[in-house]
Chains A and B, each alone.
Chain A
């Protein structure tokens, strides 16, 4: 499952994208995130529980404010760099 959390407004489109099929639940992104915006959750996939990274509940509706410290232009944010499975990406289309 691919989850997108973020926003679309006058300044553009911004989403943090996590692919839970690729995620190994290694926790490296959780540790790397300076805003503590990621956490490990139990995802229910094909009748199995799987521990995967996800945007933490309290940040899910305010990515606009939580994630502005990281420059998406470079695609080298701490979470992306930390992930060994390429499970995290960022969509950023400024207007």
Chain B
């Protein structure tokens, strides 16, 4: 059961969604296909408005994963691939999206998608996934101004938080709340390396620290690290946190305190809003529309 909960909290389930919207053949219908290392996402847009999307796991074969995601997004829409005026491939497997008219880097697409989901006021995007951390600064049109990617390091990533939660034997879905159950915020741990966290945490527990305090000190160190990344790309309001760690209230609230800002709220994607996970695919579909219109004019 513990594994199932973990799956749900950090990760995600395969699903697809169709918005209540009408379309005709005269509309500009475009698609974005985002083939990531773990998930493949596809989004369909009608005249630049989100219409449908699908999220699936990436298999060992990128072209197949791309097709699977797109078919999933098209399911129950009445549309076929032939109705799509322009398809943009993005993500780590973008060059392997066979039906795409063009491949665009995931950073450009993620930025455009964030601009679409949160509107032109979002300027800084911190994306904390299972395996890496990226900070992106964008302008009011969703163009990337500055981008930062950290060397491969588990500190602060979903994987790193999982290891730490296991160490303290705290259920992964509770670590955010538990880390906030301290009267006074402790100093951050000095060492952020997950492999050394064991020694560090055991030392603190032996000194009589509570689990909550140890977790708070560790989470604080991760938040400081992320705030540093944000400052490096040049922080500008408004800020949004995406990726699995956006659900970790311990991390997000501390970043807010350190930077002295409030992050933009997540859309209610489980109900009727847009899922931040498809930001890249939505951005790709939007860029696809712009490219289609440009081609029509030429």
Contacts and interface: CB of A to CB of B under 8 A. Distances in A.
B105 A7 contact: no
Identify the interface centre among B132, B153, B291: most chain A CB within 10 Å of its CB: B153
Interface stretch (B13-21, B52-60, B142-150): B142-150
A93 B153 CA distance: 19
Contacts of B146: 1-4
A5 interface: yes
B145 A13 contact: no
Contacts of A47: 287, 290-291, 294
Given A7-B151, A47-B290, A62-B152, A15 B145 contact: no
Nearest to A62: B151
B151 A10 contact: no
A87 to B, nearest CB: 14
B248 interface: no
Interface in B256-298: 287, 290-291, 294
A61 B149 contact: yes
Nearest to A4: B148
A9 B266 CA distance: 30
B147 A3 contact: yes
Interface residues of A, number: 23
Interface string A41-63: 00111110000000000001111
A26 interface: no
Contact of B150 (A2, A6, A43): A6
A47 B146 CA distance: 17
A27 interface: no
A44 B104 contact: yes
Interface string B146-172: 111111110000000000000000000
A35 to B, nearest CB: 15
A91 interface: yes
Contact of A46 (B143, B145, B148, B193): B143
A36 B142 CA distance: 32
A2 B149 contact: no
A1 B228 contact: no
A2 B145 contact: yes
A51 to B, nearest CB: 13
A77 B294 CA distance: 41
Nearest to B228: A8
B290 to A, nearest CB: 6
A7 B133 CA distance: 11
A4 B136 CA distance: 10
B229 interface: yes
B153 A7 contact: yes
9 contacts: A1-B146, A4-B149, A8-B225, A9-B192, A10-B191, A44-B105, A47-B290, A47-B294, A61-B149
Interface of A: 1-10, 13, 15, 43-47, 60-64, 91
Given A1-B143, A47-B290, 5 more contacts: A3-B147, A4-B148, A5-B148, A44-B104, A64-B151
